[in-house]
């Protein structure tokens, strides 16, 4: 027999000292530990009280008598569930620590009051049902010698509950919570440590927890009992001292730099001098105006910061439902393990099985309830889009925006593609007030490539000029002929767009031209439009960064500072702090005196650099000139990757949402991200088609996520509010914030915590998707490394301990000395519970495959051979139960697609007591009649434009395209989505199964890259080009042989031990076929396949969604 319930006490030898020294931190692991130990021990004592005999004479494998299997599963499931609740909600974790601490003090004090010899007469008969009078079973019968300390413990327990409930109304300072966690946690840690000592001493009768309810059993001999009591008291004293020093050490570290936002103030804003007198030329009225503006700005920054730290009630309700459902599933799956009798289950292996199932089921249940929540809320309350202002005739000065296309190129082709994408975005989003500037922000180093990028910029400017001049001729002819006179704005725009599309091929800039030309004198119109054309050309800029510090975030952080303040001097991430990873203080951020690798002769290089400065510095000066003027500065930066496409008007719509007063708390406005598969239709691969298939068979859950959490994640592409970003992420000269570690990869996780992103669901941007599974693995491995690295920054990060140890061993073996870690100014940043939860979404997704593989190993390998794990059900049936749950929770949401076609009742305005724009739209701010008319007008105008644009697009299609893409009603779309969903599920069985092995490889590569400090894989674009050039079965097999080998090994095991199960062999077949399925996914889709319903339906629905 392998199992012994006393094995539970082995973990207390580690968990007890951990709580003794770290309870003050209330970290994730402290709360998880406290919840697991406290709940499992409490439940074990309650069920032990059901049978008096089981307290004394039970067998190690049957501690609860005949009901041991049932009760032991309940004890373990209760511990796991308690750990989940405590870990994901700090208030619950602190409550458990405080109650456990009170109970441990009560236990030892009442033993001391009884002179360490509880009378056996205190034993009482308990009812057969252990849950009846559960509290008396825990605290035991009252002592004959009552003490005030007993009443104090009871009072503290009641106060703990009151403190927990009051947190719904009050936010207590972090110091108070740390103090309570340290004091009560010290008692918890001392009690857990004494229990471990009791077990290792192996003294007296076997018990399953030193509790007040069974004190007559474990304290039958006064002498050792007194020793345990003294040890408990001494450990509490030691804990208080240790935690005091640990807290002070942590506070001193925070004192060197404690994260706090720095109030933003433009350096050229009028101000009062340090001695209180007015600056030269400043009147008292200007002084009063400055003071009012400063006060208003400070109040606004404080209000938005407090909003970022606030967790909405809808989030707590949602998480409570998810955790409760996960706990119920945990109770069910814990019954699968055989815990009692002559079982071969080892306690820790059985616990690992339960924990792994709980982790996987958590993610699946969360997805299920997010989908269900989305549809229910949409049907009953509606999920309104973000309210927005109307800037159809041009952005205001407060909406000035800079598009930052971040580029790091290794080839001319990559440079040309990025500049071309930026040029298309610039043309599609021209603003009549010239408040949108498009910039290619490059950190390319090779001199020849930098020259080529500037040449490409000049060529793109010529193309922009020629395009606009051709359109200007059409506009002048229409206006000078008077063809638009007397028409409404809608009709005028329609006629102008039709003429532009007929003669120039595109009507996307009809709003731009109409805003410039209407109400202008036809005589001088030509000159005015020519000036605007040249200005639009000059607003397409190229900025070369002089260093690569902080990688992509450094690119847009520097351009943000340049465009917001006019400052082109470095004041963050300096080499005086970060060493070789930093840069020189006061050095130029943009220019050509740094980050240039000379790949030609020295003499030619000097002349070339001077030429680059002459051609490129005017762009830097243009952006800086706007930034230096506080009334003309850039207020927003649109962060974009080199492949991100911005459709016509998309930037304006994002700024319209950002500028609405109801959305001022949101520092980032995200757009939907999709893939334009028609961009390169001839080279579309089956892998890209499958991604499109998944997109059309699901709903946009980000909308529901935004409603629940009042925020969404950030994925590196969005409209950023410059003032807020500088205040919270960058800092001001002399007061740097530097919230991002200098070597960070997944920077968007930290930015999402501090900037409260929102989603403008009506705007869609397009980006390139990985073209095949091989390049997708390279991309996801880089993301995995980012998750691992983020987990190493935090003191309680999931990877910090193990990666730090492996790094130390690796560096000593390789270099003979420990590797110096980069300086990190901010290891943790304050954020709401909602932001913290969303920040771990990627972590859960990346670990899903390895977790399911672990379940497969535990069930089909270990449980099948009854090696350290034995299941009550047939091992394979355990896998079926798990996969049935998975499929049920994934398939049912597909059926919810029918709900997406039903109209909403729109009861949110009456049912919800909330003013958040994520819940009720603009109800809180559109109170005046002018606001209502403005909103109504802009909405109707947008509807007209959208309808006309759809009609024009339809009319412009060829007859063949019309036949292939008929207009579809809601029912037709729904029917096709349901059919495609079934195809997607079937493909997932074949294509997702290898993810169990691929996920482990990804995890290993990411972790190993962090340990060694180097990433050995190729960039995604390089991998895609290599696949295109070398695609063959043998090439793909070289890239995927490890999945085939895993399938072969699994097949050999199954045949050796005569395992005949369809599910197991389906898994094996999918692994062994992975090289072939990968080869198929890499292939281009032939023209014959594009005539089938699978291709046509997917593309038709994609077109409708766009």
Stretch 129-150: mean pLDDT: 58
The pLDDT score that the predictor gives to residue 272 is: 36
The pLDDT score that the predictor gives to residue 1103 is: 74
CB–CB of 11/211 below 8 Å? no
What distance in Å separates the CA atoms of residue 625 and residue 617, rounded to the nearest whole number?
12
The pLDDT score that the predictor gives to residue 340 is: 78
Is the predicted pLDDT of residue 166 greater than 70, yes or no?
yes
The band of 656, judged by pLDDT with boundaries at 50, 70 and 90, is very high
Nearest to 76 by CA among 321, 332, 341: 332
Nearest to 46 by CA among 164, 170, 122, 136: 136
The pLDDT score that the predictor gives to residue 959 is: 41
Is the predicted pLDDT of residue 894 greater than 70, yes or no?
no
> Strand, coil or helix: what is 204?
coil
Residue 383 phi/psi, 5° resolution? -115, 95
The pLDDT score that the predictor gives to residue 575 is: 92
By CB neighbour count within 10 A (0-12 exposed, 13-18 middle, 19+ buried), where does 698 fall?
middle
Stretch 771-778: mean pLDDT: 89
User: Residue 334 corresponds to which tokens in the numbers above?
Assistant: 């814990």
Is the predicted pLDDT of residue 927 greater than 70, yes or no?
no
Residue scoring higher pLDDT (11 or 690): 690
Nearest to 511 by CA among 143, 110, 47, 945: 945
Is the predicted pLDDT of residue 1105 greater than 70, yes or no?
no
| pLDDT tens-digit series, residues 516-536 | 888 777 778 888 999 999 999
CB–CB of 676/439 below 8 Å? no
What distance in Å separates the CA atoms of residue 231 and residue 194, rounded to the nearest whole number?
7
Is the predicted pLDDT of residue 964 greater than 50, yes or no?
no
The band of 569, judged by pLDDT with boundaries at 50, 70 and 90, is very high
Stretch 59-86: mean pLDDT: 78
The band of 897, judged by pLDDT with boundaries at 50, 70 and 90, is low
Q: Give the length of the chain.
A: 1106
Task: Collect all residues with Cβ–Cβ distance below 8 Å to 711 and sequence separation of at least 6.
Answer: 666, 752, 756, 757, 758, 832, 834, 835, 838
What distance in Å separates the CA atoms of residue 304 and residue 884, rounded to the nearest whole number?
45
> Strand, coil or helix: what is 669?
strand
The CA-based dihedral angle spanning residues 192, 68, 65, 216, taken in that order and rounded to the nearest 10 degrees:
20
User: Residue 890 corresponds to which tokens in the numbers above?
Assistant: 């994934």
Question: What per-residue string of b and e applies to 403-417 under the rule 16 or more CB within 10 Å gives b?
Answer: bbbbbbbeeeebbbb
The pLDDT score that the predictor gives to residue 932 is: 40
SS3 letters for 719-775? EEEHHHHHHHHHEECCEECCCCCCCCCCHHHHHHHHHCEEEEEEEEEECCCCCCHHH
Range of lowest pLDDT (295-299, 359-363, 473-477): 295-299
Residue scoring higher pLDDT (680 or 592): 592
**CA atoms within 13 A of residue 112's CA, in its CB half-sphere:** 17
By CB neighbour count within 10 A (0-12 exposed, 13-18 middle, 19+ buried), where does 36 fall?
buried
By CB neighbour count within 10 A (0-12 exposed, 13-18 middle, 19+ buried), where does 1096 fall?
middle
CB–CB of 754/799 below 8 Å? no
Is the predicted pLDDT of residue 901 greater than 60, yes or no?
yes
Nearest to 508 by CA among 429, 607, 401: 429
Residue 227 phi/psi, 5° resolution? -60, -45
What distance in Å separates the CA atoms of residue 760 and residue 718, rounded to the nearest whole number?
10
Range of lowest pLDDT (91-100, 427-436, 697-706): 697-706
| pLDDT tens-digit series, residues 589-641 | 999 988 998 866 667 778 888 899 999 999 999 999 999 999 899 999 999 99
Range of lowest pLDDT (257-271, 286-300, 377-391, 988-1002): 286-300
The pLDDT score that the predictor gives to residue 458 is: 95
Range of lowest pLDDT (4-13, 223-232, 398-407, 439-448): 4-13
379-393, 620-634, 804-818: which is most confident: 620-634
The band of 72, judged by pLDDT with boundaries at 50, 70 and 90, is confident
| pLDDT tens-digit series, residues 264-279 | 988 887 543 334 444 4
The pLDDT score that the predictor gives to residue 934 is: 38
* C-alpha R_g of the chain: 33
The pLDDT score that the predictor gives to residue 616 is: 93
The pLDDT score that the predictor gives to residue 760 is: 92
Is the predicted pLDDT of residue 110 greater than 80, yes or no?
yes
Is the predicted pLDDT of residue 944 greater than 60, yes or no?
no
Place of tokens 């847009």: 556
Stretch 747-760: mean pLDDT: 93
Place of tokens 């082995």: 10
Percent of the chain's residues with pLDDT above 70: 81
The band of 144, judged by pLDDT with boundaries at 50, 70 and 90, is very low
CB–CB of 61/7 below 8 Å? no
CB–CB of 708/314 below 8 Å? yes
Nearest to 890 by CA among 336, 364, 158: 364
Task: Collect all residues with Cβ–Cβ distance below 8 Å to 263 and sequence separation of at least 6.
Answer: 297, 298, 301, 727
Range of lowest pLDDT (129-143, 685-699, 849-863): 129-143
CB–CB of 339/346 below 8 Å? no
Residue 172 has a CB neighbour count (10 Å cut-off) of 13
Is the predicted pLDDT of residue 858 greater than 90, yes or no?
no
Alpha helices in 957-969 (DSSP H): 959-964
Residue 281 phi/psi, 5° resolution? 80, 10
Q: Tell how far CA 636 is from the center of its chain.
A: 22
| pLDDT tens-digit series, residues 455-469 | 999 999 999 999 999
Task: Collect all residues with Cβ–Cβ distance below 8 Å to 459 and sequence separation of at least 6.
Answer: none
The pLDDT score that the predictor gives to residue 636 is: 97
What distance in Å separates the CA atoms of residue 200 and residue 504, rounded to the nearest whole number?
86
The band of 1059, judged by pLDDT with boundaries at 50, 70 and 90, is confident
Residue 518 has a CB neighbour count (10 Å cut-off) of 16
Provide the total of helices (H) and of strands (E) in the chain, helices listed first.
Answer: 43, 9
Looking at every residue in the chain, the average pLDDT score rounds to: 81
CB–CB of 559/404 below 8 Å? yes
The band of 678, judged by pLDDT with boundaries at 50, 70 and 90, is low
The pLDDT score that the predictor gives to residue 749 is: 92
The pLDDT score that the predictor gives to residue 273 is: 38
The pLDDT score that the predictor gives to residue 202 is: 61
Place of tokens 């050039």: 1029
The pLDDT score that the predictor gives to residue 645 is: 92
Is the predicted pLDDT of residue 253 greater than 60, yes or no?
no
Helix (H) or strand (E) holding 209: none
Residue scoring higher pLDDT (286 or 557): 557
| pLDDT tens-digit series, residues 1012-1035 | 888 766 777 788 888 988 999 999
Place of tokens 């001392």: 190
Task: Collect all residues with Cβ–Cβ distance below 8 Å to 722 and sequence separation of at least 6.
Answer: 560, 563, 564, 633, 634, 635, 636, 637
Nearest to 744 by CA among 1018, 595, 554: 554
């Amino acid at each position: 027999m392998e199992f012994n319930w006393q094995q539970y006490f082995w973990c207390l030898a580690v968990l007890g000292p951990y709580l003794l020294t770290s309870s003050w931190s209330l970290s994730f692991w402290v709360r998880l530990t406290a919840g697991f130990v406290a709940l499992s021990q409490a439940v074990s004592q309650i069920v032990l009280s059901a049978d008096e005999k089981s307290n004394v004479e039970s067998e190690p494998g049957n501690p609860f008598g005949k009901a041991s299997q049932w009760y032991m599963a309940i004890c373990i499931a209760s511990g796991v569930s308690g750990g989940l609740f405590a870990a994901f909600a700090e208030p619950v974790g602190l409550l458990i620590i405080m109650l456990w601490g009170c109970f441990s003090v009560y236990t030892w004090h009442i033993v001391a009051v009884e002179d360490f010899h509880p009378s056996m007469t205190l034993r009482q008969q308990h009812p057969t049902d252990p849950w009846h009078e559960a509290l008396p079973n825990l605290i035991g019968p009252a002592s004959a010698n009552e003490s005030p300390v007993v009443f104090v413990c009871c009072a503290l327990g009641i106060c703990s509950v009151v403190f927990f409930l009051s947190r719904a109304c009050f936010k207590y300072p972090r110091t108070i919570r740390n103090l309570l966690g340290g004091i009560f946690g010290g008692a918890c840690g001392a009690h857990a440590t004494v229990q471990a000592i009791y077990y290792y001493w192996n003294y007296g009768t076997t018990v399953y927890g030193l509790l007040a309810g069974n004190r007559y059993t474990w304290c039958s001999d006064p002498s050792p009992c007194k020793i345990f009591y003294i040890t408990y008291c001494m450990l509490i004293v030691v804990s208080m001292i240790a935690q005091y020093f640990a807290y002070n050490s942590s506070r001193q570290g925070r004192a060197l730099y404690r994260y706090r936002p720095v109030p933003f103030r433009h350096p050229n804003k009028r101000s009062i001098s340090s001695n209180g007198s007015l600056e030269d030329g400043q009147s008292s009225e200007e002084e009063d105006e400055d003071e009012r503006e400063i006060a208003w700005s400070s109040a606004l920054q404080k209000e938005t910061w407090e909003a970022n730290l606030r967790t909405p009630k809808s989030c707590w309700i949602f998480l409570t439902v998810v955790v409760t459902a996960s706990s119920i599933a945990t109770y069910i799956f814990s019954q699968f393990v055989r815990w009692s009798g002559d079982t071969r289950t080892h306690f820790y292996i059985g616990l690992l099985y339960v924990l792994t199932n709980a982790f996987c089921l958590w993610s699946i249940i969360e997805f299920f309830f997010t989908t269900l929540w989305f549809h229910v809320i949409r049907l009953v309350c509606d999920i309104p889009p973000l309210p927005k202002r109307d800037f159809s005739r041009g952005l205001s000065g407060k909406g000035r925006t800079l598009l930052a296309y971040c580029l790091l190129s290794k080839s001319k082709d990559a440079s040309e593609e990025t500049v071309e994408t930026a040029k298309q975005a610039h043309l599609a989003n021209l603003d009549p007030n010239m408040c949108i500037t498009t910039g290619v922000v490059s950190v390319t180093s090779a001199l020849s490539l930098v020259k080529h990028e500037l040449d490409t910029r000049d060529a793109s400017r010529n193309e922009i000029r020629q395009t606009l001049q051709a359109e200007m001729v059409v506009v002048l002819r229409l206006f000078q002929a008077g063809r638009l006179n007397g028409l409404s704005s809608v009709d005028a725009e329609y006629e102008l767009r039709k003429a532009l599309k007929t003669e120039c091929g595109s009507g996307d800039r009809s709003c731009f031209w109409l805003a410039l030309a209407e109400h202008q004198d036809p005589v001088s119109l030509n000159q005015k439009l020519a000036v605007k054309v040249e200005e639009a050309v000059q607003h397409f800029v190229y900025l070369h960064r002089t260093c690569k510090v902080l990688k992509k975030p450094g690119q847009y952080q520097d351009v943000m500072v340049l465009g917001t303040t006019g400052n082109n001097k470095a004041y963050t991430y300096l080499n005086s702090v970060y060493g070789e990873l930093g840069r020189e203080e006061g050095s130029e951020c943009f220019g050509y005196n740094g980050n240039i690798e000379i790949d030609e002769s020295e003499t030619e290089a000097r002349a070339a650099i001077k030429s680059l400065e002459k051609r490129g510095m005017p762009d830097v000066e243009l952006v800086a000139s706007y930034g230096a003027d506080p009334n003309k500065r850039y207020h927003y930066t649109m962060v974009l990757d080199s492949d991100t496409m911005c459709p016509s008007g998309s930037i304006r719509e994002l700024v319209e949402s950002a500028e609405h007063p109801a959305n001022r708390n949101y520092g980032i406005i995200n757009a939907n991200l999709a893939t334009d598969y028609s961009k390169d239709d001839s080279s579309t691969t089956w892998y890209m088609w499958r991604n499109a298939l998944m997109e059309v068979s699901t709903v946009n859950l980000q909308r529901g996520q935004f409603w629940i959490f009042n925020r969404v994640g950030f994925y590196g592409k969005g409209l950023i509010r410059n003032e807020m970003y500088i205040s919270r992420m960058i800092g001001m000269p002399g007061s740097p914030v530097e919230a991002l570690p200098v070597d960070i990869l997944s920077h968007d996780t930290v930015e999402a915590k501090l900037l409260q992103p929102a989603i403008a669901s009506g705007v869609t941007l397009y980006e390139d998707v990985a073209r095949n599974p091989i390049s997708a693995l390279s991309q996801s491995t880089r993301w995995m490394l980012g998750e691992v690295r983020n987990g190493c920054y935090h003191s309680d990060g999931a990877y910090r301990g193990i990666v730090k140890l492996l790094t130390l061993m690796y560096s000593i073996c390789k270099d003979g000395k420990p590797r110096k870690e980069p300086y990190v100014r901010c290891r943790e940043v304050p954020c709401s519970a909602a932001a913290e939860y969303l920040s771990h979404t990627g972590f859960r997704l990346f670990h899903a495959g390895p977790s399911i593989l672990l379940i497969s190993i535990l069930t089909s390998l270990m449980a099948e051979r009854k090696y350290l794990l034995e299941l009550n059900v047939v091992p394979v049936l355990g896998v079926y139960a798990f996969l049935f749950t998975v499929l049920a929770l994934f398939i049912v949401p597909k059926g919810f697609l029918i709900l997406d076609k039903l109209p909403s009742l729109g009861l949110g305005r009456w049912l919800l007591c909330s003013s958040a724009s994520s819940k009720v739209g603009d109800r809180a701010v559109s109170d005046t009649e002018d606001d209502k008319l403005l909103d109504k007008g802009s909405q109707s105008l947008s509807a007209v434009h959208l309808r006309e644009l759809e009609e024009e697009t339809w009319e412009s299609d060829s007859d063949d395209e019309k036949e292939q893409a008929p207009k579809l009603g809601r029912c037709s779309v729904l029917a096709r989505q349901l059919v495609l969903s079934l195809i997607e599920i079937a493909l997932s069985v074949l294509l997702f199964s290898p993810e169990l092995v691929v996920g482990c490889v990804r995890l290993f590569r990411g972790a190993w890259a962090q340990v060694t400090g180097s990433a050995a894989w190729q960039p995604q674009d390089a991998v895609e080009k290599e696949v295109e050039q070398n695609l063959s079965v043998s090439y793909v097999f070289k890239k995927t042989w490890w999945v085939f080998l895993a399938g072969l090994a699994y097949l050999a095991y199954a045949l050796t031990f005569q395992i005949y199960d369809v599910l197991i062999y389906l898994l094996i077949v999918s692994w062994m076929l992975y090289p072939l399925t990968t080869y198929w996914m890499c292939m281009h889709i032939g023209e014959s396949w594009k005539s089938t319903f699978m291709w046509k339906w997917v593309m038709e629905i994609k077109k409708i969604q766009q």
